[in-house]
Every structure is written in C-alpha cells, then in structure tokens.
Chain A
Amino acid sequence: MLILSRKSGESIAIGDDITITIVTISGSQVRLGIAAPREVRVLREEIYKAMQEENRAAANVPDSGRKLEDALKQLQSKKPGEPDK
C-alpha cells in the first residue's frame, strides 16, 4: 500500500482518470472527494466487502436445485398466510 500525507484541500491522482481530494479534516474524520469515471465503482470498503461476501455466499450453493425445489414445496404446502398488498 502506498502511504502519502496530504493536507486539507490537497489531492491524489490515481491513474489518468481518478482524483481523490481531502475536502475537510475534522477531529478523527476525513471528508474525501472522489472524481472518477462513472464506470468505476466507488464504495466504502466495508460495503464493498459485505456485498462481495454475499455474492460469494449466493454463488454455486451445493444442491441448489434441490433446495429451490424444497423451498417451493414447503411454500406450496404450508397453511395460508396473508398475501402482501
């Protein structure tokens, strides 16, 4: 990881298309501005990681055909619930 020090108002250029600017520093919190092409996803890292994990958990679940069939069978044999409006 490259470590740089910046002051409020200073920026970092990543590649040719991405710029990160320190907008304000307030106590332990830093406000960052990110300029990037629209096709580049910019996310808080914990959100990105959680989404990645959830996608991975959903991928190639063993026995998924049987699980989907079981889900359908259970749903069709249970006693009635109120349908959503």
Chain B
Amino acid sequence: MLSNNYKAKNPANLISNPAGAAVDRLAALGLPDKELFLPAGLLGFPACRHYKLEPFEPGDGSESPFLLLNAVGHDLTFPLIHPASMGLDYRFPRSAELLAALGARAPEDLLPLLIVTLRETLEEITVNLQGPLIVNPTAALGAQLVLEDQPLRHPLLKPEAAEDLMRSR
C-alpha cells in the first residue's frame, strides 16, 4: 500500500503500485499463468519467445515494484521494473507499426517495462532505457525496442542516494 511515509523514505522513489495502475494492467496478463509472446524475442536470445511475467515477492512478504520475466522451457530469467515505479517520465515512440505488431488498438494499450541489470553493489544496479520491453497486456504480446537516444544503463538509485550509500560504508 502506498503511503506518503514510504515515499519520503525512498531514495530511488520506488513505488510499489504507482497511480495509473500499470501493475494492475499487467495483471490482465493473468500473472503468472498466462504466457507472454515475444515474436522477435529479446536481442541475444532469439530462441526464447514464450515468457511468464510474475511479481517479485520478497521473502518477508513486503511489496516490491520488481517483476520477473521467466522464459518458458528455458532456464532464463530477467528482473523488470515499470519506469513509473522509479518516478521516471519515460517516453517511447508508439508508431503505427509497433501498435500493429503488438495487436494494440490505441497507444495507451502499450506498457514499457525496463530490464534491470543487477550488479554486486546497489549503486551499480542499472535499468536499460535504450531497450525497453513494450508489452500489450491484453494481447499478451511484447517486443524489445531499440531507442538509440536513450541510455543503455540508467542507475536505479538517484545520485544523492548513491552518495549517501557510499559514504555510509
């Protein structure tokens, strides 16, 4: 449940269930039972086209904004996050071709999900803004776009919070 208190303690501005209910719309995918189909797969993994999307649930049962993209029939998993969960005003081109490819009737049908690259330290964790996974939850279709003007590695943590973290060590 979102509360002002949680938001104030949150240096990356991670919001578990942002207004706009992106996660609720993803629930239309029937997480985790319904399969998501990526006609072109992810770059570097052309053999994997069928995935299941599920919420990442921490062991203590608390809420998290993270999702897991798990390939069906392959030992392959990626952590994802919706940009709104990071407080990012993220835009991507919603071309007629993209809408058609993902069976979307309107641009609002499409949701961006960012792949999280986990690393050894928290301040090094990044999200891929250049290669978002665009999903149409209703049609259960998705595609990874390549947006050359966007950064490949955007820090999960805001700079001030990363500095605090490093100073506290």
How far, in Å, is A77 (CB) from chain B's closest CB?
8
Q: How far is the CA of A78 from the CA of B11 in the complex (A)?
A: 7
Q: A56 and B87: CB pair below 8 A? A: no
Question: How many residues of chain A are within 8 Å of chain B by beta carbon?
Answer: 38
Q: How far is the CA of A61 from the CA of B120 in the complex (A)?
A: 10
* Chain A interface SS verdict (over half): helix
* Chain B interface SS verdict (over half): loop
By a CB distance below 8 angstroms, the chain B residues around A59 are 45, 76-78
Interface residues of B (CB under 8 A from A): 6-14, 39-40, 42-45, 56, 58-60, 62, 64, 66, 75-79, 86-88, 97, 101, 115-118, 122, 125, 128, 130-131, 144, 146, 148, 152-153, 156-158, 160-161, 164-165
Q: B77 and A60: CB pair below 8 A? A: yes
Q: A60 and B43: CB pair below 8 A? A: no
Q: B161 and A71: CB pair below 8 A? A: no
Question: Nearest CB to that of B10 among chain A residues?
Answer: A75
By a CB distance below 8 angstroms, the chain B residues around A41 are 40, 43, 146
Given A51-B43, A51-B131; A75-B115 close (CB under 8 Å): no
By a CB distance below 8 angstroms, the chain A residues around B62 are 72, 76
Contact with B along A74-85 (1 / 0, CB 8 A): 111111111110
Given A51-B131, A51-B152; A57-B8 close (CB under 8 Å): no
Q: A67 and B118: CB pair below 8 A? A: yes
Q: B40 and A58: CB pair below 8 A? A: no
